[in-house]
Amino acid sequence: MDGGLRRLQRDLKLIQAEPCGVYVTTRGDDLALLDALVLGPQDTPYDGAMLHFQLKVSNFYPMNPPEVQFLTTDSNKLRLHPQLYADGKVCLSILGTWHGPRWTASSSIRTVLLSIQSLLCEDPLRCEPGMEAASDERVELANVFVVHESVRVGILPMLEESPTWGTDEAAEVLSTAARAYLSQRLSTLLRRLSSLATRFDGQVMREPFNFGAEASTCRRYDFEGLARRLQSFSPQPEHLPPASSESEKAESKDDAVTSLPEEEEALCCRICHLTLEESETELIEPCQCAGSIRCAHSSCLIDWLKHTGAAQGEWRCDLCLAPFEVRSAPGQPPGTKLLRRSLLEFVDMQLPVECCGLVSILLTSICQTLLMCLCSGIANILYLAANVLLSPVGPSYDVLKWPLAVPAVLLDLTAMGSYVLLVGVKVAMLVRAAESRCIMVCCELQEQLLVWVAEMLTLLWNIRLAGLLALTSYFTADHLCRTCLGVNLLLVAEWPLFGHKPEVISFTSFSMRANSPAQILRSFSMSCWVYQGIGVASALVNLLAILLLLKAAFLDARSVPVAILTAEKLKKE
């Protein structure tokens, strides 16, 4: 938190050095809880308003944005803007509560407050999605409501009673700033209230930002009453600081300008805001950014990029989008962490590419098994239907069943052809992996098939990579036993245990009557040395993929980023 604390202190110092309509103060020595005052911009319905926000800064600052709560809500009853809710919620993209540009490592407390100030525009109703084309009459009525409530809740309580940020010594910074600002805008506000009083006083107030109900309140507009209450402060009381003259403003502005370069002479990291002397770590210029944000510590950048979750090959600057040049070194193998990954992560290429390809090979093998089981089962059902249809004919039906078994034979031939095709696909993927350490699927259809298989396995059994390895290992061993020994793996395993041949069903094949056409075709194909060779090749590809995945998990060191190079280093190299 030391770097984050230093960054927060510097952010607060910059806000004080550059007055821009936002002020921040701390509650004692606690920097985790801040009070901020955002002044309403001129020529908007919020002109003169003093909006109070509370910011909670976590230990992960500046990696994470602060939590912001809006407090000028009249005890959670008033909504002054579509993105400032009555319960205190602030909808802002930089805070992750609205769509749009997100928080970056170069963002700060000042960035958040200025973004909030930018919400206070001339037509706040049009900030609500779907209201961009609202009629001018409806927009004007919303603006009238905002002017009335901004004075009632955001100005008068500041003058007549203690403000919402309290009366302690630390809050005096906000009180002084608010009163000085109000003294400059008082005459303009009085003219606006007088103009609106002639048109709207006595009319029922309607909540313009309660889009679901549009219910009216029991209150009525009273601009004249607000003007009278505000008029009593027109002759500036002694406790109000006088408005500074133009010459004084120019002089103070010049002083601020002349005092800043002294502070900015020493370059600092744009993430932790520590200078070279304070951190004793080299500052680099890793991208095309210029000015005060051009420098950073390599370690700070790596921490930020890891925090964002971006893939290492896609690390680039959040601002100028220039890619970073990353120096990597071997790290520790992932171990069982890799085996506990979901299959969908590999299919979506969220992990190292070579591992994704190896998992694709194993999922293709599962496709082979499912295809053979499905086609064999359907062929059995078709042949059974032929037997049922011909059962009244008598023993001579054996002669007639061959034509009726043609669909089952064609289905078996299709399944075998698809099996051979998938074996070729697996071999091609493995060869490409050996050449470039990168396996990609061959076509969009194959990719969709792999995604479907991964989703099915994840849905039914929540199988992780370890489960896929075990499942494919069993199917591969069973296939080798049936191809080379003529029996399935369960028989081989249970003979020594039970001492007799158990009645089991293979999960990778379906048996049929010995004299059935489909079974004759299967028996012939299983005994054919070409088909057996293809089966052995398929099993060997599976075994090799399994071994390579285990090697990647327990033996291969992962590439770990250790430094980000500067622009000068890139040119030299």
Active site residues: 91
- CB of 439 closer than 8 Å to CB of 358: yes
Distance, in Å, from the CA atom of 32 to the CA atom of 294, rounded to the nearest integer, reads: 28
The count of residues in the chain is 573
Q: What is the pLDDT of residue 264?
A: 44
**CA 228: distance to chain centroid?**
52
pLDDT digits (tens, 9 = 90+) for 214-234: 555 678 888 898 888 888 776
What is the edge-to-edge ordering of all strands in the sheet holding 50-56?
A: 22-27, 30-39, 50-56, 67-70
Boundaries of every domain in the chain: 2-246, 255-327, 343-556
Q: What is the pLDDT of residue 511?
A: 47
Distance, in Å, from the CA atom of 523 to the CA atom of 58, rounded to the nearest integer, reads: 70
384 CB burial (10 A radius; 0-12, 13-18, 19+) = middle
Nearest to 14 by CA among 297, 286, 259, 318: 259
Q: What is the pLDDT of residue 490?
A: 53
How is residue 501 written in tokens?
């041949």
How is residue 502 written in tokens?
């158990």
Q: What is the pLDDT of residue 145?
A: 92
Q: What is the torsional sign of CA 73, 79, 84, 85?
A: positive
How is residue 133 written in tokens?
């084309």
Q: What is the pLDDT of residue 547?
A: 92
Q: What is the pLDDT of residue 520?
A: 65
Q: What is the pLDDT of residue 247?
A: 45
How is residue 73 written in tokens?
């809500």
Q: What is the pLDDT of residue 546?
A: 92
Fold match between domain 2-246 and domain 255-327: no
Ranges under pLDDT 50 in the chain: 1, 236-264, 437-438, 495, 497-514, 569-573
How is residue 514 written in tokens?
């010995």
pLDDT digits (tens, 9 = 90+) for 303-340: 888 777 676 677 888 777 788 888 888 778 888 888 88
Q: What is the pLDDT of residue 293?
A: 80
Q: What is the pLDDT of residue 234?
A: 63
Q: Which residues have CB under 8 Å from 133's CB, separation 6+?
A: none
What share of residues in the chain are helix, strand, coil (percent, to 5)? 55, 10, 35
Distance, in Å, from the CA atom of 365 to the CA atom of 423, rounded to the nearest integer, reads: 8
CATH topology of domain 2-246: Ubiquitin Conjugating Enzyme (3.10.110)
CATH of span 255-327: 3.30.40.10
Q: What is the pLDDT of residue 392?
A: 58
Strand residues in 121-258 grouped as ranges (E): 204-206, 216-220
